[in-house]
């Protein structure tokens, strides 16, 4: 529980071959949020951040990968977030990293939906946008949760022994 790990979104590497977004809501306005415009699709973005998160925690096992419906991005990233996929990388009872991707075009350049437009920023046209939000947990909360789990386990063990001896 006291094993070190990332403390903020700035501990994570920038997405390769991308431009970091400076749009409102992608910087300091929302805590622990970063966004990148790139031509990297989901099959590169998720493994890149999974490996990066694993390296930052120094734990022997990689983080769990959970998949959510894109509509959930309004709850965990920020309101009015365009999304085609949303995944969470998590170490149970520790921190969570949400990765939201917006891919209006497929790998062949065909629009995925009617009205899809290119993303333009810094004089470049990009195919995708990846938005990250990191939810760190404080040490005292982790210790309090583990103390609750241990005390509950001991109480259930003692209660089970009483029931068996009756």
Q: Which residue has the higher pLDDT, 150 or 113?
A: 150
Residue 44 — φ and ψ, nearest 5°? -105, -40
Running DSSP on this structure, what letter comes out for residue 71? G
The string of pLDDT tens digits covering residues 43-87 is 999 999 999 999 999 889 999 999 999 999 999 998 888 999 999
Letter string b/e over residues 135-164, b meaning 16 or more CB atoms within 10 A of that residue's CB = ebeeeeebeeeeeeeeeeeeeeeeeeeeee
Flag whether the pTM goes above 0.85: yes
CA dist., res. 23 & res. 143, Å (int):
37
Q: Among 113-117, 134-138, 143-147, which is the least confidently predicted range?
A: 113-117
Helix locations, 20-166, DSSP H: 42-57, 73-76, 139-165
Q: Left, alpha or beta for 163 (phi > 0: left; psi -120 to 50: alpha)?
A: alpha
| Domain limits, the chain | 11-135, 138-166
Average pLDDT over residues 86-106: 93
pLDDT in the model for residue 2: 73
Residue 1 has pLDDT above 70, yes or no: no
Please compute Rg for the chain using Cα positions: 20
pLDDT in the model for residue 132: 96
Highest mean pLDDT among 17-26, 108-117, 145-154: 145-154
Angle at alpha carbon of residue 129, lines to 138 and 105, rounded to 5°: 145
Q: Report the half-sphere exposure of 81 (CA within 13 A, side-chain side).
A: 31
Tokens of residue 121, six digits: 């920023």
Average pLDDT over residues 145-162: 93
pLDDT in the model for residue 155: 95
């Amino acid at each position: 529980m006291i094993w070190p790990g990332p403390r903020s979104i700035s501990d994570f590497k920038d997405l390769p071959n991308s431009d970091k977004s400076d749009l409102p809501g992608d910087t300091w306005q929302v805590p622990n949020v970063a966004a990148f415009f790139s031509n990297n699709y989901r099959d590169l973005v998720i493994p890149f951040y999974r490996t990066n998160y694993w390296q930052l925690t120094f734990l022997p096992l990689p983080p769990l990968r959970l998949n959510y419906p894109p509509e959930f991005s309004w709850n965990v990233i920020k309101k009015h977030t365009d999304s085609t996929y949303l995944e969470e990388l998590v170490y149970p009872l520790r921190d969570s990293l949400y990765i939201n991707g917006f891919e209006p075009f497929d790998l062949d350049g065909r629009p995925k939906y009617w009205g899809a437009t290119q993303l333009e920023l810094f004089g470049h046209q990009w195919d995708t946008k990846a938005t990250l939000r990191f939810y760190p947990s404080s040490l005292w909360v982790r210790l309090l949760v583990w103390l609750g789990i241990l005390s509950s386990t001991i109480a259930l063990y003692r209660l089970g022994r009483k029931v068996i001896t009756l």
